[in-house]
């Protein structure tokens, strides 16, 4: 069976077999009495089966002329379910290949072609998941040349007009390139030697050629782009001689490539969505309980382009904003990464957030593009308007060939009568009503016009009643009027500096974001009655307009309210998700400072002189994070993201320019999969919460994170993250296998959709540098049921300087399962009744094994320390997490759930990385510096690297300290 649109089943048949098959097919169809439509199918079978032509057949556009209106109809209970397969399934990034292959001069020449603007896209790759998920819709064919798709409550049409508008490709004119078949040219002869040219052959020739002739280089890249992106088919499919010669002759810039691409795509969709062959296969799949499969021939390029424009949730927020002199809309795309179809179906196409956008060109686009052939109208069709098999004779309102659309002039005339007396808001509302009804029958138009007249009749009357009170004047006269002066007076009165009133008064200004309820207004009236006549005044002045357009950070005027309005607008439309009063704290909110200070570990940055955020946002839903990012970018406000507040310099909640804080404290969900040894942890969770949840599920799994349990997981991993078992398993970031983040465009991305470069950057490249991390997927590591720890003190009486000097040569070379760090500080000591300051070194160790193994290693590698069995304690891994945190290891692990910082002292701290041992004289200099501090206020911690850290290349993650032998962390409290 030959499946229109790209099946290869006929390629191995012999010509004799074809002849017999064609005869049987024709007789079979004639016997059944199916004349016209089935005859077209026979034509297509003949074409697919033919071996007489050296080149693949052209699309036979006649096969879907005269199609019935319900041809594509799917009832809600019979949506397109199953697996969409594409042929071929390419993952090649065509734009990157082209940029890499051509010289800069050749790229300039290519940019001047009709395809040059595609270089402005970040990537152009196959989007099988996106197309599959979007076809999982209610869909029907509207007429012979367009299809309607239902997305949520919106219905939008897919037609060549929309594709031309978005892609910038020519979509008008004759697309028949067979007239070029006999046009010989040097390009085809030089690069293909009169051979049969296949799609795969074009790729091989393009990649293997070194183009010395820039003109030929451009033609080759055009051929490569057309055959492998615009019209991609199987590698063994033949390139039509007319297509090859059209490009070779250099006449490709005037050819309607958009129309050709659309025809390929439309045909593929039609065959994939509804055909007799596919219906039979579908019935068989159901009968035999197999997964349904639908085949799309070639690359459905035009459909993919259209999808990105009509579904704003899939791309950056401003993709549909138009400049006065627009570039093609396709150039504004930034999201071309692969999408997960299951996630897309769940989070996008089944979401109330989804909004489809019926398209109309702007005036500037009409001037720029050749769209004269197309009619444009918005489209909003109810379920009742979908034509189904039960009502084949009914026409879709406004969509039959005899429909008279509302002319643009009529629509303008309806507006003209009230345009001078209706506020902009009301005028826009009227325009929306008209826009949605442009394509109705005459009777429908009269009904809409009547509705409009009734709707605005009362408003018109109220406007007319006030006309007599209106006065036209110059602006300077209006300045007198607003000042309470007679507007007919000379403007010279404005030069009089004498105050108009000398009465004592008390006045203030309040700024309101929500309407005052009627009961509240009545309270104001009562208060005014309590004053003497005329002595109490309340003036209400509306904001909005230009005030909402200027970012709040533009000037030190904090009452524009535009950011909060933006936040409310872009948050989820679900009412339960849109109560911003639960997540937004302003400086006037009574909880503002308690929320701000709760996780500040360093009081240095909570003083009155420290810059404070304009708002603190504690999102409950990812849509609120998206809204915060979009609005902060729109209004020029810096974002600070806080998960635990442990950064040394307050970077997660302080900025010198106007900023907001996105506090992820409510994003604390943790799931642990013991069988797969993985877990998802949201970035507002602390390390203590993560360790606790892992321990609940397994006593032999752990995560190689830091020591302090109140550190937020989000910032910890973005900085790399080291802890007690990192010499065995690497950094916390080394054990992240996926992530979810909101990028600068407000999109929620995972590892697949963000791409490997961004995924690389967020694991060690710095907190909030590349987006707001929502969650990490982490790999859990195995630990023994019993680990051993010790903490022993040594001082100068134990020949401390030589001991530490020796430690430097040993610690980073010890087995990976052993960490031996050392902490230095001064302590109070009494000698012969005299209090004095003494330097103390504490050697702290965690060993992934039992005490006997630890003692053996220490005796062999570092006997100078003098470790004995009594110094050691065996415990579980979760107890060792308490031990390393400085908490009593015998306490319940639930103490790890306490988010309250253990210390509230102001401090200054930093980290240094050392590759060479510090000489004894240098160590003595450190001791002297510690003696200068107050007792216990100065601390230096040295942590050895080596082990797993030395095995992982520095390029693996953006963490540039793997080659160090140790980290030195000085800290001074005050």
Model confidence pLDDT, tens digit, residues 116-175: 878 776 666 656 666 766 766 667 776 767 888 777 677 788 888 888 888 888 888 888
751 contacts 718 by C-beta, under 8 angstroms: no
DSSP string over 245-275: HHHHTT-GGGS-HHHHHHHHHHHHHHHHHS-
Q: Concatenated DSSP letters for 298-352?
A: B--HHHHHHHHHH-GGGS-GGGG---SSPPPGGGG----S---HHHHIIIIITST
Is residue 69 within 8 A of residue 143, CB to CB? The reply is: yes
Instruction: Map residue 586 onto helix, strand or coil.
Output: strand
Predicted pLDDT of residue 389: 35
d(CA 219, CA 810) in angstroms, rounded, equals 64
Domain end call among 664, 682, 712: 664
User: Smallest Cα–Cα separation from 930: which of 829, 798, 843, 824?
Assistant: 824
Q: Determine which of 248-252, 374-378, 485-489, 860-864 has the lowest per-residue pLDDT on average.
A: 374-378
pLDDT of amino acid 504: 86
Does residue 583 sit in the same domain as residue 649?
yes
More confident site: 831 or 633: 633
Torsion sign over Cα 794, 797, 800, 802: negative
In a domain, 560, yes or no: yes
Q: Are 133 and 345 in contact (CB under 8 A)?
A: yes
Domain for residue 660, yes or no?
yes
Report the range out of 174-188, 358-372, 530-544, 775-789 with the highest average pLDDT.
775-789
Q: How open is the CA angle 57-58-60, to the nearest 5 degrees?
A: 110
Spatial separation of the C-alpha atoms in residues 609 and 604, rounded to whole Å = 10
**845 pLDDT above the threshold of 90:** yes
Per-residue pLDDT, 342: 58
Nearest to 913 by CA among 972, 971, 961, 970: 961
Quick one: 923 and 813 in the same domain? yes
Q: 927 and 794 share a domain?
A: yes
* pLDDT at residue 230 greater than cutoff 80: yes
pLDDT, position 728: 95
Written as six digits, the tokens of 217 are 């280089």
Residues 657 and 791 in one domain: no
Q: Are strands 701-702 and 772-779 parallel, antiparallel or unpaired?
A: unpaired
User: Measured between alpha carbons, how far is 780 from 760 in angstroms, rounded to an integer?
Assistant: 19
Residue 802, pLDDT score? 95
At 274, is the pLDDT very low, low, confident or very high (cuts 50, 70, 90)? low
Burial of 12 (0-12, 13-18, 19+ CB in 10 A): exposed
Whether 471 and 614 map to the same domain: the answer is no
Higher pLDDT, 234 or 775: 775
- The arithmetic mean of pLDDT across residues 937-954, rounded, is 93
- Within a domain: residue 655? yes
Whether the CB-CB separation of 709 and 690 falls below 8 Å is answered with no
Q: Are residues 564 and 480 in the same domain?
A: no
pLDDT of residue 723: 95
In a domain, residue 215? The reply is no
452 secondary structure, DSSP code: H
The dihedrals phi and psi of 508, each to the nearest 5 degrees, come to: -155, 170
- The DSSP annotation for 801-821 comes to HHHHHHHHHHGGGS-TTEEEE
User: What does the CA dihedral 239, 245, 249, 255 come to, rounded to 10 degrees?
Assistant: -60
415/489 same-domain check: yes
Strand partners, 820: 845
What is the C-alpha to C-alpha distance for residues 718 and 603, in angstroms, rounded to an integer? 23
Given a cut of 60, whether residue 590 has pLDDT beyond it is: yes
Distance between CA atoms of 618 and 642, rounded to whole angstroms?
Answer: 10
Q: How far apart, in whole angstroms, are the C-alpha atoms of residue 753 and residue 639?
A: 23
Q: Which long-range contacts (CB under 8 A, 24 or more apart) does 185-191 make?
A: 185/245, 185/248, 185/249, 186/248, 187/216, 187/219, 187/220, 187/247, 187/248, 188/244, 188/245, 188/248, 190/216, 191/216, 191/220
Query: Is 457 or 709 the better-scoring residue by pLDDT?
Result: 709
Other CB atoms within a 10 A radius of the CB of residue 424 amount to: 8
Q: Which CATH number fits the domain that encloses residue 968?
A: 3.40.462.20
Q: Does residue 727 have a pLDDT over 80?
A: yes
How does pLDDT run across 543-584, given as a tens digit for each residue? Answer: 877 777 676 666 777 676 667 778 877 775 444 555 678 899
Between 292 and 654, the more confident residue is: 654
Asked if residue 288 belongs to a domain, the reply is: no
Q: What band does 378 get if pLDDT is binned at 50, 70 and 90?
A: low
Count Cβ atoms below 10 Å from residue 212 Cβ, excluding itself. 7
Q: Is residue 49 scored above 50 in pLDDT?
A: no
Long-range CB pairs of 172-178, under 8 A, 24+ apart, other chains included = 172/256, 172/259, 172/370, 172/372, 172/373, 173/254, 173/255, 173/256, 173/259, 174/256, 175/255, 175/256, 175/259, 175/260, 175/263, 176/58, 177/240, 177/242, 177/243, 177/246, 177/255, 178/58, 178/240, 178/242
Rounded distance, CA 580 to CA 628, Å?
11
Do residues 570 and 472 share a domain?
Answer: no
Question: Does residue 791 contact residue 844 with C-beta atoms inside 8 Å?
Answer: yes
Whether residue 463 is predicted with pLDDT greater than 60 in this model: the reply is no
Higher pLDDT, 110 or 318: 110
Long-range contacts of 341-348 (CB under 8 A, 24+ apart): 341/128, 341/129, 341/130, 341/132, 341/133, 343/750, 344/129, 344/130, 344/133, 345/133, 345/136, 347/748, 348/133, 348/311, 348/313, 348/314
Instruction: Assess whether pLDDT exceeds 70 at residue 480.
Output: yes
Report for 180-184, 503-507, 628-632: range of highest mean pLDDT? 628-632
User: What is the per-residue pLDDT for 640?
Assistant: 94
Query: Is this prediction's pTM over 0.85?
Result: no
Q: How many domains does the chain have?
A: 4
- Shared domain for 440 and 578, answered yes or no, is no
Least confident of 114-123, 871-880, 889-898, 950-959: 114-123
Give the sheet arrangement for strand 146-151, strand by strand: 138-143, 146-151, 154-159
Mean pLDDT of 877-901: 94
Do 555 and 639 have their domain in common? Answer: yes
Q: Which helix (H) or strand (E) holds 24?
A: helix 15-32
Token representation of residue 842:
């504490």
Q: What is the mean pLDDT of the chain?
A: 75
Examine the fold and report which residue of 664, 687, 719 is the final residue of a domain before the chain moves on. Answer: 664
- pLDDT tens digits for range 51-108: 222 223 333 333 334 444 344 555 544 555 455 555 444 556 777 888 888 887 788 7
pLDDT above 90 for 374: no
Provide the CATH number for the domain around residue 565: 3.30.43.10
Which one has a higher pLDDT value, 956 or 121? 956
pLDDT of residue 1: 27
Which one of 13, 28, 52 terminates a domain? 52
pLDDT for 771 beyond 90: yes
Mean pLDDT, range 301-328, rounded to an integer: 59
Q: Identify whether residues 952 and 862 lie together within a single domain.
A: yes
Name the pairing type of β-strands 670-673 and 678-682: antiparallel
The whole-angstrom separation of Cα 214 and Cα 219 is 9
Least reliable range by pLDDT among 271-280, 365-374, 748-757, 951-960:
271-280
Residue 516 inside a domain? The answer is: no
Position 551 scores a pLDDT of 67
Instruction: Find the domain containing 581 and state its range.
Output: 547-664
- Cite the DSSP H helix spans in 598-680: 622-634
Give domain status of residue 344, yes or no.
no
Tell me the C-alpha distance between 186 and 244, whole Å.
11
As a whole-number percent, the residues of the chain with pLDDT over 70 amount to 67
Q: Do 939 and 871 share a domain, yes or no?
A: yes
- Identify the pLDDT of residue 128: 62
Is 283 buried (19+), middle (13-18) or exposed (0-12) by CB count in 10 A? exposed
Q: How many angstroms separate the CA atoms of 811 and 818, rounded?
A: 9
Tell me if 797 is assigned to some domain.
yes
In sequence order, the 6+-apart residues with CB closer than 8 A to the CB of 514 are none
């Amino acid at each position: 069976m030959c499946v229109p649109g790209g099946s290869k089943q006929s390629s191995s048949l012999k010509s004799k077999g074809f002849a017999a098959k064609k005869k049987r097919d024709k007789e079979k169809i004639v016997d059944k009495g199916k004349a016209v439509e089935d005859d077209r199918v026979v034509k297509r079978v003949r074409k697919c089966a033919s071996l007489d032509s050296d080149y693949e057949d052209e699309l036979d556009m006649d096969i879907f002329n005269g199609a019935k209106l319900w041809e594509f109809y799917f009832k809600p209970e019979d949506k397109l379910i199953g697996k969409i397969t594409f042929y071929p399934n390419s993952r090649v990034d065509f734009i990157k290949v082209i940029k890499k292959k051509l010289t800069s001069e050749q790229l300039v020449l290519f940019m001047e072609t009709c395809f040059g603007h595609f270089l402005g896209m970040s990537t152009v790759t196959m989007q099988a998941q996106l197309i599959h998920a979007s076809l999982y819709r209610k869909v029907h064919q509207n007429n012979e040349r367009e299809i309607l798709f239902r997305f949520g409550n919106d219905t939008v049409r897919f037609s060549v007009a929309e594709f031309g508008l978005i892609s910038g490709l020519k979509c008008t004119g004759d697309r028949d390139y067979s007239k070029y078949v006999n046009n010989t040219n040097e390009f085809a002869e030089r690069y293909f030697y009169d051979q049969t040219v296949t799609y795969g052959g074009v790729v091989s020739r393009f990649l293997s050629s070194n183009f010395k002739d820039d003109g030929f280089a451009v033609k080759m890249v055009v051929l490569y782009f057309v055959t492998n992106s615009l019209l991609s088919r199987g590698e063994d499919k033949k390139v039509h001689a007319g297509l090859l010669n059209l490009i070779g002759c250099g006449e490709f810039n005037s050819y309607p490539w958009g129309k050709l691409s659309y025809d390929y795509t439309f045909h593929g969709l039609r065959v994939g969505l509804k055909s007799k062959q596919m219906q039979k296969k579908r019935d068989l799949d159901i009968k035999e309980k197999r997964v349904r499969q639908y085949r799309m021939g070639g690359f459905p390029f035009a459909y993919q382009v259209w999808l990105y424009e009509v579904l704003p949730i899939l791309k950056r927020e401003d993709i549909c904003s138009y400049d006065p002199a627009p570039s093609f809309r396709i150039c504004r795309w930034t999201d071309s990464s692969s999408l997960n179809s299951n996630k897309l179906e769940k989070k996008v196409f089944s979401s109330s957030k989804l909004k489809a956008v019926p398209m109309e060109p702007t005036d500037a686009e009409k001037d720029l593009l050749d769209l004269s052939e197309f009619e444009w109208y918005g489209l909003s069709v109810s379920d009742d308007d979908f034509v189904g098999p039960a009502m084949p004779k009914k026409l879709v309102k406004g969509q039959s060939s005899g429909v008279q659309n509302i002319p643009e002039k009529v629509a303008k005339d309806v507006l003209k009568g009230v345009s001078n007396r209706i506020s902009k808001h009301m005028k826009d509302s009227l325009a929306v009503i008209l826009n949605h009804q442009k394509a109705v029958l005459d009777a429908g138009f009269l009904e809409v016009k009547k509705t409009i007249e009734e709707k605005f009749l009362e408003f018109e009357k109220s406007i007319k009643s006030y006309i007599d009170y209106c006065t036209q004047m110059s602006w300077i006269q209006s300045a007198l009027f607003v000042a309470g002066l007679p507007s007919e007076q000379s403007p010279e009165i404005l030069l009089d500096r004498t105050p108009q009133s000398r009465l004592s008064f008390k006045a203030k200004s309040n700024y309101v974001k929500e309407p005052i309820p009627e009961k509240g207004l009545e309270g104001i009236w009562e208060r005014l009655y309590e004053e003497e006549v005329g002595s109490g005044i309340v003036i209400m002045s509306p904001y909005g307009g230009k005030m909402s357009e200027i970012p709040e950070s533009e000037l030190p005027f904090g009452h524009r309210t535009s950011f909060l309005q933006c936040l409310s607008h872009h948050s989820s439309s679900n009412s339960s998700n849109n109560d911003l009063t639960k997540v937004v704290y302003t400086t006037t909110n009574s909880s503002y400072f308690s929320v701000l200070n709760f996780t500040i570990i360093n009081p240095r940055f909570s003083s009155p002189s420290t810059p404070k955020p304009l708002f603190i946002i504690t999102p409950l839903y990812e849509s609120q994070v998206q809204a915060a990012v979009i609005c902060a970018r729109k209004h020029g406000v810096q974002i600070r993201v806080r998960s635990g507040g442990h950064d040394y310099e307050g970077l997660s909640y302080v900025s010198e320019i106007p900023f907001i804080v996105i506090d992820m404290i409510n994003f604390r969900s943790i799931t642990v999969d013991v069988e797969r040894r993985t877990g998802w942890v949201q970035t507002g969770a602390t390390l203590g919460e993560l360790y606790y949840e892992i321990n609940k599920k397994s006593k032999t799994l752990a995560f190689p994170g830091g020591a302090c349990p109140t550190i937020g997981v989000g910032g910890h991993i973005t900085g790399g993250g080291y802890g007690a078992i990192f010499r065995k398993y690497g950094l916390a970031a080394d054990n992240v296998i996926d992530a979810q983040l909101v990028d600068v465009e407000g999109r929620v991305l995972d590892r697949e959709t963000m791409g490997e470069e961004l995924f690389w950057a967020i694991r060690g490249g710095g907190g909030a540098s590349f987006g707001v991390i929502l969650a990490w997927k982490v790999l859990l590591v195995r630990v023994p049921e019993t680990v051993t720890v010790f903490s022993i003190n040594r001082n100068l009486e134990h020949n401390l300087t030589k001991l530490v000097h020796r430690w430097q040569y040993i610690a980073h070379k010890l087995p990976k399962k052993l960490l031996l760090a050392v902490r230095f500080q001064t302590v109070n000591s009494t000698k012969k009744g005299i209090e004095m300051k003494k330097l103390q070194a504490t050697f702290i160790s965690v060993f992934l094994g039992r005490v006997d193994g630890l003692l053996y290693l220490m005796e062999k590698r570092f006997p100078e320390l003098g470790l004995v069995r009594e110094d050691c304690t065996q415990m579980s891994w979760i107890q060792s997490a308490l031990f390393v945190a400085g908490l009593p290891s015998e306490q319940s692990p639930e103490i790890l759930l306490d988010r309250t910082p253990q210390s509230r002292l102001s401090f200054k701290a930093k980290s240094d990385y050392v590759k060479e041992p510090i000489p004894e004289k240098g160590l003595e200099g450190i001791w002297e510096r510690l003696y200068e501090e107050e007792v216990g206020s100065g601390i230096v911690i040295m942590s050895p690297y080596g082990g797993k850290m030395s095995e992982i290349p520095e390029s693996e993650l953006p963490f540039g300290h793997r080659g160090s032998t140790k980290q030195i962390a000085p800290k001074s409290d005050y």
